[in-house]
């Protein structure tokens, strides 16, 4: 039973995103979503460059790009204009997360965060072909279809609430109605 509880805990709470990670984020249309990316080993200075891309965008387009202590809009895909910003502009503790505002079904896809630090980070953004440190699969269903996960989770919770009393009742019943020879042996 504790295994089921652990599984439910991780489903409800989610997982921490640090270093290389793959994470599925379900969202409802109209919500603001944080795309998490953290690297505690980076130094926030002029040698830092990082980008958020979506795997289905053209090579010269991106979701968010940061270099030379500022955000670059040239090359940002038009669907993300005025909708993406740093979660923490100071990027404390290597937090490179961005907030995507007012998500819609077209925002569904796989997002990747890449970082370049040091020599070479000041060149064109094409140098950011490094391994992603964060991969997020954003799932935005059409309006009215996003409650399936909540229904499944409610069903699981209901099953646990129904099964737990039944298991406890059976367990207590076995203890109360043990055969007489077990009781005599205990005396």
Q: Supply the CATH number for residue 60's domain.
A: 2.60.40.10
pLDDT, tens only, 11-35: 333 333 334 558 999 999 999 999 9
Of the candidate ranges 133-142, 148-157, 173-182, the one whose mean pLDDT is the lowest: 148-157
Give phi and psi for 82, each to the nearest 5: 60, 20
**Residues spanned by the domain of 73:** 16-139
In a domain? residue 176: yes
Domain tally for the chain?
Answer: 2
pLDDT digits (tens, 9 = 90+) for 81-102: 999 999 999 999 999 999 999 9
Q: What are phi and psi of 151, to 5 degrees?
A: -65, -45
Does 116 lie in the same domain as 48?
A: yes
86/122 same-domain check: yes
Q: What is the pTM of this model?
A: 0.64
For residue 38, which of 71, 16, 68, 55 has the smallest C-alpha distance?
Answer: 16
Question: What would the pLDDT profile of 147-170 be if each residue is shown by its tens digit?
Answer: 555 555 555 555 666 666 666 656
pLDDT digits (tens, 9 = 90+) for 65-78: 998 888 988 889 99
Residues 66 and 122 in one domain: yes
């Amino acid at each position: 039973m504790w295994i089921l509880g652990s599984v439910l805990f991780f489903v409800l709470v989610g997982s921490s995103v640090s270093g290389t990670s793959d994470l599925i984020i379900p969202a409802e249309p109209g919500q603001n979503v944080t795309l998490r990316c953290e690297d505690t080993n980076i130094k926030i200075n002029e040698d830092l460059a990082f980008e958020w891309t979506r795997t289905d965008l053209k090579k010269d387009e991106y979701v968010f790009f940061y270099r030379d202590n500022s955000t670059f809009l040239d090359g940002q895909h038009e669907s993300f204009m005025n909708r993406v910003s740093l979660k923490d502009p100071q990027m404390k503790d290597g937090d490179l997360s961005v907030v995507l505002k007012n998500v819609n079904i077209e925002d569904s896809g796989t997002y990747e965060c890449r970082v370049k630090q040091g020599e070479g980070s000041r060149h064109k953004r094409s140098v950011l072909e490094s391994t992603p440190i964060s991969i997020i699969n954003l799932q935005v269903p059409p309006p009215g279809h996003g409650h399936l996960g909540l229904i499944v989770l409610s069903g699981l919770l209901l099953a646990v609430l129904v099964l737990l009393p039944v298991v406890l009742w059976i367990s207590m019943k076995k203890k109360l109605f043990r055969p007489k020879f077990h009781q005599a042996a205990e005396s």
